[in-house]
Structure 1
Amino acid sequence: MVSRLNPYLNFRSSAREAMTFYHSIFGGTLDISTFAEFNVSDDPEEKDNVMHSQLTTDAGFVLMAADVPKKMPFAEGSSISVSLSGDDENELTGYWNKLIEGGTVFEPLAKAPWGDSFGMAADRFGVSWLVNIAGAGQG
């Protein structure tokens, strides 16, 4: 088996909504398992929360997420950003435009000093995203 490194996002009761949002942007296959399915929470309010979810796209992206149980500490936001990069300007610009709907743009997607197009934003769930589109002749 090949080793992989994948982003794993944590939410407080909004993982399903967030992953459905990402699925609408990136397409692919979304699998969601709840706390109830695996009998991992004694709190009936959490039975439909996401114990594990995985979005696997046709482009080869894998994004995972879960809801943190109420009994565990959780702080909104994090010191991690998810980075999307490549040279397909239309594809990456399309992702960017969908990710920023209802979010906060920190750096608009624009030509950067190093020759690429670059933008930074937090989506409506507070997840930070970096998008970098390689300039002509790079990749």
Structure 2
Amino acid sequence: MKVQSYLSFEGRCDEAIAFYGKALGAEVVQLMRYSDAPADMPPDADGCAGAMPGPDKVMHAVLRIGETELMASDGRCSGQAEFKGIMLAITAPTEADARKWFDALADGGQVMQPLIATFFSPGFGMVGDRFGVGWMVVVGH
């Protein structure tokens, strides 16, 4: 069994893909836009209530960040994504990597816990990025 994260950016998925590419070196593995759907697909065939988002919006994307695949889409394009009660965790091999990734994620976001040495790691911090996604960055042993 494999459990993966699927994030709905509510209309800002292209922006998020570019941001994670720059901040974390994320690579696009797969990208489908609503315009890629079959022309004869009924408007509600995607399983969502209401009209489909615009054709240029991301229906489904897979990003590879290190050894992990993160899935994402524009969702229903409501304009404001809400990522409550979850965080994504990054284990960095070095303090320098942790600092680089933490600072990149914090750009335009909000630091919740500065990256500091703790009893369990030489570096641990928490940040909400510019999209509201929570991240824990920890230096592994």
Using the size of structure 1 for normalisation, the TM-score is 0.80
Distance 1:44 1:86, change over 3 A: closer
Give the counterpart letter for 2:13 in structure 1: A
Quick one: structure 1 residues 103 and 53, their matched pair in 2 at CA, closer, same or farther if it must change by over 3 Å?
Answer: same
Q: Partners in 2 of 1:110 and 1:91 — Cα distance?
A: 13
Distance 1:55 1:29 in 2: 5
SS at match of 2:56: coil
* CA apart distance, 1:83: 0.3
Q: How does 1:4-23 map to 2 (within 5 A)?
A: 4-23=2-21
| Structure 2 unaligned residues grouped into runs of 5+ | 44-50
Amino acid at match of 2:33: T
Q: Which has the higher contact order (CA 8 A, sep 6+)?
A: 2
Are the structure 2 counterparts of residues 44 and 81 from structure 1 closer, same or farther at C-alpha, using a change threshold of 3 Å?
closer
Q: Aligned-residue CA RMSD in angstroms?
A: 2.4
CA contact (8 A) 1:104 1:123 kept: yes
Change (3 A) 1:62 1:49: same
Could you tell me which residue of structure 1 aligns to residue 63 of structure 2? 55
Give the aligned partner of residue 27 of structure 2. Answer: 29
Aligned counterpart, 2:73: 66
Measure the CA separation in 1 of the matches of 2:42 and 2:56. 10
Change over 3 Å in CA distance of 1:89–1:41 after alignment to 2: farther
Determine which of 74, 83, 90 is the counterpart of 1:84: 90
Q: TM-score, normalised by structure 2?
A: 0.79
SS at match of 2:96: helix
- State the partner residue of 1:38: 37
Count residues in correspondence.
130
After the TM superposition, which segments of 4 or more aligned residues of structure 1 sit over 6 Å from their partners?
Answer: none
Contact 2:81/2:131, CA 8 A, preserved across alignment: no
**Percentage identity across paired residues of the two chains:** 28
Contact 1:41–1:47 (CA under 8 A) maintained in structure 2 = no
